[in-house]
Amino acid sequence: MQLNPRKTGVRRAAGMIFLCGILLAPILRAQSSSSSARQEEEQPRFLKRFSVGVRASILTMDLLSSATNTATPNAETVVAQTLTPANLRLGGGVTVEYAASRRVLVSVDLLYHYFSYSADTTTNVSLPDGTSQITDVSEGLHARYYDLPIVFRYATLPARTASARVFLGVGPDFRTISDIRTATTTTNADGSQVFDYTPRVPQNRVTYGVVAVAGFRVKDDFGIKVTPEVRYTRWLSSLFDGWPAQQRRNELQVVIGLTF
């Protein structure tokens, strides 16, 4: 049987193409893998710009200052006042972070704190017969307040060159108070008592200030970031700004964050 030369040539060409494909396939796969690896190296380590997490806050001092005060409105009257704060210094809340670049990070926190105080005012009036008329007013207050700091952080070391990044930050801070509960007991000179549960009205329900932050961040292989930091806040207005409750204008706290 005689073969057609044209068909034989086509079969040979197809065989050569198939053989070349087999030989070139490993090379093409290696080049593709190398190209993908280069692309992965060029990408930043964090694939998402937004992170969410929680923060724990520890106040280094009470929200209010303990104080004593003695006044003499007139020669016969002496007014003695004392204030004892009873803060729960541990608080916490949630946070949202946005990585604007490898070095710039913006965070918004919502932190919760609880505080209380007891105040006592004793009025001693000297009568003409030599006796004294004493009236005592005791006040106890419990309330919650929330902080909303917006911090712009700048990392001194980029993420590529260090697993632990030291950073500095600054931003505005806002504070609001809620759930104020007040109990006032007035003990008159004759021993009778009057009870009042009208909540005390703060001077400002929303205050604002400036916060400065310094700390560092550690990131593990799973993308979990731990951020211990120190925050100093200078409050430009106060929730309470009169006796008996006077809020501190300078505040220092330690904050530990855990974000994903």
* CB-CB contact of 46 with 99 (8 Å): yes
The whole-number pLDDT of residue 165 equals 85
pLDDT in tens, 244-255: 677 889 999 999
Query: What percentage of the chain reaches a pLDDT higher than 70?
Result: 78
Give 230-234 contacts, CB < 8 A, sequence gap 24+.
230/254, 230/255, 231/149, 231/255, 233/149, 233/173, 233/209, 234/209, 234/210
* CB-CB contact of 137 with 120 (8 Å): yes
- Taking the C-alpha atoms of residue 166 and residue 119, their distance in angstroms, rounded to an integer, is 43
Q: Which of 67-81, 137-151, 238-252 has the lowest mean pLDDT?
A: 238-252
Higher pLDDT, 22 or 134: 134
pLDDT in tens, 187-211: 999 999 999 999 999 989 999 999 9
Mean confidence (pLDDT) of the chain: 83
Give the mean model confidence (pLDDT) for residues 138-159: 89
With a cut of 50, say whether residue 138 has pLDDT above it.
yes
Residues of the chain with CATH 2.40.160.20: 47-259
* CB-CB contact of 116 with 60 (8 Å): no
* CB-CB contact of 181 with 114 (8 Å): no
Query: What percentage of the chain reaches a pLDDT higher than 90?
Result: 60
The whole-number pLDDT of residue 158 equals 55
CATH T-level topology, domain 47-259 = Porin (2.40.160)
- Taking the C-alpha atoms of residue 109 and residue 94, their distance in angstroms, rounded to an integer, is 6
The whole-number pLDDT of residue 157 equals 62
